[in-house]
């Protein structure tokens, strides 16, 4: 519910940044909503920057000198690839905020006609390769949470870490192509700048890439972050049943995504 305190017709909830569990609280103000002081509702100024003067004061200090303005507090967000299917997309493994353990590997085999591109299934399986890059279809990794709803992912450089190998990496130039999307009710919207590719060998290697989100991106109700992965046989174009791609998950920081956070 709204706070019930307004400045020029705008509720303070649309002016001051929300308090997040784990933050240090400001001192009590004496202003309350449903019996709880504002310091349990709004983020301390040190977490962001000041909003315009509100007209509400504690002693002689305006609330703008106590609390941060909405949209100025950035909450860090690091996600880990987890070997558990999500409720929203049964064929996708999850992205989670807690560090998983007991690393596992899943192999994607390519069947029927040899071709250049093949979807990488987070849960492993058999895929028919194609001559064009396949669109996301719910077999990647999904952050199946409402945490980002009503917030904005901030622009900037991310760090994506993953472990992988490909049998034909010893004889061909094999790439893993990664891309991030907003997923909502079957619709995938690409996130600008968060895409690229990296060469893969036949040995299991920990890779680190640094894509950059080009602009602040708002998430509305139902929006979820999704990672899509594709294998590319760049020279021979011969993804076949004898050229499985192995991807690792559940390994904690070895398989993780450090974002620029959200406000």
For residue range 197-225, what is the model confidence (pLDDT) as tens digits? 999 988 999 999 999 999 999 999 999 99
pLDDT bracket for residue 110 (50, 70, 90): confident
pLDDT bracket for residue 239 (50, 70, 90): confident
Length of the chain: 263
- The CATH code of the domain that includes 229 is 2.60.120
Q: Where are the beta strands (DSSP E) in 12-158?
A: 32-33, 36-37, 57-58, 61-62, 78-85, 93-96, 104-110, 117-119, 125-127, 141-142, 152-153, 156-157
What's the domain range around 217?
78-258
* pLDDT value of residue 21: 82
114/233 same-domain check: yes
- Round to whole Å and give the CA distance between 138 and 115: 21
228/149 same-domain check: yes
For residue 210, is it within any domain? yes
pLDDT at position 250 over 80: yes
Of the two residues 173 and 171, the one the predictor is more confident about is 173
Out of 44, 65, 86, pick the residue that ends a domain.
65
For residue 263, is it within any domain? no
Q: Output the six-digit token pair for 145.
A: 């949470």
pLDDT bracket for residue 66 (50, 70, 90): very high
For residue 71, is it within any domain? no
Contact 156, 263 (CB under 8 A): no
Q: Are strands 93-96 and 141-142 parallel, antiparallel or unpaired?
A: parallel
For residue 131, is it within any domain? yes
25/101 same-domain check: no
Query: pLDDT tens, 67-86?
Result: 999 989 998 999 999 999 99
Query: pLDDT tens, 111-145?
Result: 877 788 999 999 999 998 899 999 999 999 999 99
pLDDT bracket for residue 62 (50, 70, 90): very high
pLDDT at position 191 over 70: yes
pLDDT bracket for residue 241 (50, 70, 90): low
Our count of domains for the chain comes to 2
Please, which residues have CB within 8 angstroms of residue 81's CB and are 6 or more apart in sequence? Answer: 93, 94, 95, 100, 122, 141, 162, 227, 249, 250, 251, 255, 256, 257
User: pTM for the complete prediction?
Assistant: 0.84
3-state secondary structure of 16: strand
């Amino acid at each position: 519910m709204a706070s019930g305190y307004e400045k020029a017709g705008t509720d303070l909830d649309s002016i001051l940044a929300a308090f997040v569990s784990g933050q240090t609280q400001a001192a009590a103000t004496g202003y309350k909503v449903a019996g709880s002081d504002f310091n349990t509702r709004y983020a301390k100024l040190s977490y962001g920057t000041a909003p315009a003067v509100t007209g509400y004061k504690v002693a002689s200090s305006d609330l703008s000198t106590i609390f941060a303005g909405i949209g100025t507090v950035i909450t860090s967000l690091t996600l880990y690839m987890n070997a558990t299917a999500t409720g929203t997309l049964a064929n996708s493994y999850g992205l989670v905020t807690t560090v998983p353990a007991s690393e596992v590997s899943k192999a994607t085999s390519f069947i029927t006609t040899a071709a250049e591109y093949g979807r990488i299934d987070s849960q492993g399986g058999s895929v028919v390769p194609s001559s064009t890059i396949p669109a996301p279809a719910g077999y990647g990794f999904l952050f199946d949470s409402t945490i980002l709803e009503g917030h904005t992912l901030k622009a900037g450089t991310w760090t994506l870490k993953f472990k992988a190998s490909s049998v034909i990496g010893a004889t061909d130039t094999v790439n893993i192509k990664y891309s991030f999307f907003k997923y909502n009710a079957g619709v995938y919207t690409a996130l600008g700048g968060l895409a690229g590719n990296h060469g893969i060998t036949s040995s299991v290697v920990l890779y680190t890439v640094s894509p950059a989100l080009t602009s602040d991106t708002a998430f509305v109700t139902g929006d979820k972050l999704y990672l899509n992965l594709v294998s590319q046989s760049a020279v021979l174009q011969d993804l076949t049943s004898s050229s499985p791609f192995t991807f690792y998950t559940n390994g904690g920081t070895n398989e993780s995504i450090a974002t620029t956070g959200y406000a």
